[in-house]
Structure 1
Amino acid sequence: MNKNKTFGVIGVCGANGNLIARILKQRGYNVIGTDLSFKKDCRFAKALEGYDIEVFYGNAPEAFFKKADYIIPPASLSKDSSLFKQMGDKPIFELYDVIEMIQSEKPVFGITGTNGKTTTTTLLKKIAYDNGIKPCEHDLEGMQGNAEFIPILQSRLDGDVGIIEVGTFGVPGTIGRIVKNTGMSGGLITNITPDHLNDLGSFMDYAKVKAEFISELGLGQLIVNGQDPTIMGLLRELDFKGEVITFGVDELPDSIGMKECVCGNEIAVKEIISGCGYYFCKCGLTTPQADYIATNIDLKNRTFDLHTPTEKLTVKMGVDGLHNVYNLTGVIIAAHKFLDLPYDKILPTIASFTGVSGRMEEVAKVKGKDIFVDYAHNPAGVETVLKEFKKLFGDFTTVITVSSESGYVGDIDIFNSALKFSKFIVPASVASQKIAIEKLKSKPELNDRIFLNHIDNFEKTGTLGASEDEVRDGLRKALNLDCEMVIAIGEAATKFKNAVFDL
């Protein structure tokens, strides 16, 4: 492709258009852009700073089409639109044309799972940065960017390596497409627990969407939580031919959970964290001897020992919780194997890492009470976080802002976890308010633990189950209860966490 030619990208304020414009510019092409938004309304205008890309905001003037030799329209642009007609007979490049023309050309590592993806990805990137290795970043402010085409395009941006979070909106084919089109050579699976059941119907349907990560990785290297029977069952069912590295935690289980096996049977899992622990199915699936095992876990002092295939490491943590022992163990392996770093270059970052915004995050102290928020929004995630809070801090009040993507079944499981571990519950989301009413009707004795604030008709969006006013009102109610710690769980809790400062 002649680099003296100019690409005209339509929709540079959208995620895909923004990434495409930057990728082409980084590869030495001339790039101009346009968007219907004005600059002040352009969500990702900041990401274009420093790229010397001329952008026509507010419309696509004739000058844009005159300067462009090739046009890249957004995938959503109708062929019948007036904008499309303005292109005339200019050659058109579609999204997949760009993906085909420009390859990643760097080692790419993917991280997927139901819970812990963002913490794991963020920490692995921090280890890379601390050791002079630059991961490619999508730089789309306020966007997680772990699904659809964002990870694929991100892998084509400048950087020494790609460390890519891989998610799904419950759509089959998404994960497989990401793995295939990033040229991923290795990856990590944190866990697979029920999520997106409204979209996919059953847990095993959801698990098989996650399994695309395994099937598309081919002969790559895969780091997995060996104490998750779903992951180990899928590896066996798909006859994965690449290298498998397992990790786990040597800790006494504290509950029994039932989980569907890939063979169709129900397995009793002696759980260390939700959905993961010790298991045996009559089909022969059983907990393996892990290649890396965490022992002597001291959550109070934030330390554990990690037994590797060659040595024992003493690990100092900067974050709390048994679930983070799993996350950190996976990251240590990935940094050693993928980034090719010795352990003494990895452990200082593990010790200094204090977590990701919105994950067990202490926001403020109000009226002498500590307020935390956590993004947990599916049953396993909520159960794990609240269980760890109980271990670490004792009594607390839970403000529920969740609306589960698994519908009523997920919402009731989340509420039951809150009942199990919390001293008091303040249901802030409409979904949790409705369940609270049901609970109080059938068990009036819960009146001294469940505190309804108000009922309204807020319409949830995805997992955003509460409005900003509901989050604020829920926190206000929680602060008036006889408990020194408050944790607000859910996407709304993290999105509207600044509401705490109004209090």
Structure 2
Amino acid sequence: MKIHFIAIGGSAMHNLAIALHQKGYEVSGSDDTIHDPSKSRLEKYGLLPKTFGWFPEKISNSLDVIILGMHAKIDNPELLKAQELGLKIYSYPEFLFEQSKDKTRVVIGGSHGKTTITSMILHVLNYHEREVDYMVGAQLDGFETMVHLTTDNEFIVLEGDEYLSSPIDMRPKFHLYKPNIALLSGIAWDHINVFPTFENYKEQFSIFTDSLTNGGSMVYNEEDENVVDVVENSTNHIKKYPYRTPDHFIDNGITYLETTSGDLPLEIFGKHNLQNLAGAKWICQHMGIDEDDFYEAIASFKGASKRLEKIAENNDTVIFKDFAHSPSKVSATTKAVKEQYSERTVLACLELHTYSSLNAEFLEQYKGALDYADKAVVFFSPHAVKIKKLDEVSEAQIANAFQRDDLIIYTNPQEFKDFLFSQNLEKTALVLMSSGNYGGLDFDDVKKVVNNN
């Protein structure tokens, strides 16, 4: 089969391209720009386009399939040529479903936690040498790629994103997978550029729940009232398995899980991560991993990349990098760090970087999100606001949104860096929350602050 990727450089897209190449398919692709790590990884497998740009001449009837990424626009020259020729065009979630029609599909959904839960499941299965197909949104220890596809494996584990599938397919990705087994971790309004009201956003999770195959199993967080409302009011003929935060305690900076076999020390921490663990356990049990085997494996799970990822530590200081950007994630992350390091000063630095977080109407959702931090900083770039064609956001609006009198606000990257590197980090837990890099912050330089002390 000959497959061409339009916008091959995306995180999921380039991983799918590599997975299909490894499966033996003939893969080609285009993109107008590709950055690392996508660039070097595509180059390693001989899949990096020789020239960046869009080339309609690459599109011909010799191609069996086109896979279209979200980065492409609806007037993309290659897309228009493919449509003109009547070629079969898939979004990547649509194609993943085609590749897994004969497998047991396990889909992890929710506004937060889905990458971590999927990573936990894959960690446990890998620990016990259980082969499965998968697609996950972060690079994991012990896994070369974020997508793996075979002909033989019985299960496929999919991270179920609620964002749109492609420029010409406006359905949320997780509506396309038709799971046999699914999980819902939480529902907190996000992607307001696509889902303008919370009701509209919440409805997508109802559609997801109703998309489970007849007799399928839904594992869900019973501590999230919106999840409970969606799942327990579904009339779909499915089995329902609630989970909640397991019993645990913190001793000397280590979280212990209370189990029937004794207290189990964990590498991870935070109520949200313990909820994630409880959900992952249910899913693993549905996949044939018993409770004791799950606990044995999960004890060595260190977390998904950029999800409360510890990037540096010495006797006095610990630094975390976290992908958190939505209000619920920011609050959960900050609270987790404070509870774990209650004797330390928690310095929380949040970059407002996404479309939703920089939207003036959405800002009020951040009220109280940084309350668990001892010192709180918000960075945002007025330039990023302009690029996203949003209404101008003022420092006063930011301050009013977070409702914190001592909030420190920066809009200049150099001034933020000067502040950060001037801080005395003794007896401090620093958490850097962003899906960006604070206008050019080198995280290796941040690590040196700790390593040199």
Sort the Cα spacing of 1:142 and 1:470 in 2 relative to 1 into closer, same or farther, 3 A. Answer: farther
Per-residue deviation, 1:160 = 4.8
Question: How many angstroms apart in 2 are the aligned matches of 1:62 and 1:199?
Answer: 29
* CA 429–483 in structure 1, closer or farther in 2 if over 3 Å, else same: farther
How far, CA to CA, are the matches of 1:480 and 1:186 in structure 2? 48
- For 1:256, the equivalent position in structure 2 comes to none
Task: Tell me how many residue pairs correspond in the alignment.
Answer: 415
Does the alignment pair 1:173 with 2:168?
no
Q: Match for 1:118 among 105, 115, 118?
A: 115
- SS across alignment from 1:70: coil
Q: Deviations over 1:130-168 (max 9, x none)?
A: 11122335599879xxxxxxx9x9667875531111112
1:211 Cα offset (Å) = 2.1
CA–CA separation in structure 2 for the residues paired with 1:124 and 1:27: 23
2:372 corresponds to: 421
5 Å-filtered alignment, 1:353-502, equals: 353-365=301-313, 368-394=316-342, 395-403=345-353, 405=356, 407-408=359-360, 410-414=362-366, 416-418=368-370, 420-430=371-381, 433-435=395-397, 438=400, 446=405, 449-452=406-409, 454-456=410-412, 469=414, 472-477=417-422, 479-480=423-424, 484-492=428-436, 496=441, 497-501=443-447
TM superposition shift of 1:225:
0.9
Q: Specify every segment of 5 or more residues in structure 2 that has no aligned partner in the other structure, as ranges.
A: 141-145, 382-392
TM superposition shift of 1:224: 0.7
TM-score (norm 2): 0.73
Q: Is the 8 A contact 2:182 2:219 kept in 1?
A: yes
Contact 1:399 1:426 in 2 (8 A): yes
Say yes or no: does 1:223 pair with 2:219.
yes
Letter in 2 for 1:399: C
- Larger-Rg structure: 1
SS of alignment partner, residue 376 of structure 1: coil
Change (3 A) 1:159 1:470: farther
> Which residue identity lines up with residue 257 of structure 2 in the other structure?
F
Contact 2:316–2:426 (CA under 8 A) maintained in structure 1: no
**Pairwise CA distance, 1:185:** 0.8
Q: Are residue 109 (structure 1) and residue 106 (structure 2) matched?
A: yes
Deviation at 1:17, TM superposition (A): 6.8
- Residues 202 and 397 (structure 1 numbering): CA distance in 2 closer, same or farther, change over 3 Å? same
Partners in 1 of 2:97 and 2:310 — Cα distance? 44
Structure 2 Cα separation of the partners of residues 376 and 125 of structure 1? 22
2:186 is equivalent to residue 191 of structure 1: yes
Distance 1:204 1:125, change over 3 A: same
Q: Secondary structure at the match of 1:57?
A: coil
Residue 95 of structure 1: CA displacement? 2.3
SS of corresponding position for 2:133:
coil
Conserved in 2, the CA contact under 8 Å of 1:104 and 1:155? Answer: no
How far apart are 1:489 and its partner, in Å? 2.1
- Aligned AA for 1:136? D
Quote the Cα distance in structure 2 between the aligned partners of 1:351 and 1:194. 32
Equivalent residues in 2 for 1:293-332, closer than 5 Å: 294-295=246-247, 297-298=249-250, 300-306=253-259, 315-332=264-281
1:64, CA displacement in angstroms? 7.1
C-alpha separation between the residues in 1 aligned to 2:330 and 2:34? 39
| Structure 2 CA distance for partners of 1:107 and 1:80, relative to 1, 3 Å | closer
Counterparts of 1:70 and 1:433, CA distance in 2: 51
Counterparts of 1:39 and 1:193 in 2: how far apart (Å)? Answer: 31
Give the aligned residue type for 1:119.
Answer: T
Distance 2:59 2:8 in 1: 18
Change beyond 3 A, Cα 1:203–1:84: closer
- Compute the TM-score of the two structures, normalised by the length of structure 1: 0.67
Tell me how far apart the structure 2 counterparts of residues 20 and 216 of structure 1 sit (CA, whole Å). Answer: 24
**Shift of the alpha carbon at 1:476?**
2.4
CA distance in structure 2 between the partners assigned to 1:194 and 1:77 by the alignment: 25
Q: Deviations over 1:388-411 (max 9, x none)?
A: 222221332222213562634654
Does the 8 Å contact 2:349/2:433 carry over to 1?
Answer: yes
Counterpart mapping for 1:152-163 below 5 A: 159-163=153-157
What RMSD in Å do the two structures reach over aligned CA positions? 4.5
Please state if 1:202 is matched with 2:197: yes
Q: In structure 2, how many angstroms separate the alpha carbons of the residues matched to 1:170 and 1:489?
A: 24
CA distance in 2, matches of 1:363, 1:10: 34
**How far apart in 1 are the matches of 2:14 and 2:153?**
17
Give the unaligned 5+ runs of structure 1: 1-5, 144-150, 250-293, 457-466
User: Matched residues in 2 for 1:17 and 1:198: separation?
Assistant: 22
Q: 1:154 to 1:409 in 2, by over 3 A?
A: farther
Q: Tell me, yes or no, if the aligned pair for 1:316 and 1:347 is still in contact at 8 Å.
A: no
2: CA distance, partners of 1:92 / 1:109? 30
- Does the aligned pair in 1 maintain the 2:112–2:185 contact within 8 Å? yes
Deviation at 1:216, TM superposition (A): 0.4
Distance 2:315 2:395 in 1: 26
Q: Taking structure 1 as reference, are residues 129 and 471 closer, same or farther at Cα in structure 2, changes over 3 Å only?
A: farther
SS of equivalent residue, structure 2 residue 430 = strand
Per residue, is there more helix in 1 or in 2? Answer: 1
Residue 237 (structure 1) aligned to one of 233, 239, 242: 233
Matching residue of 1:136: 133
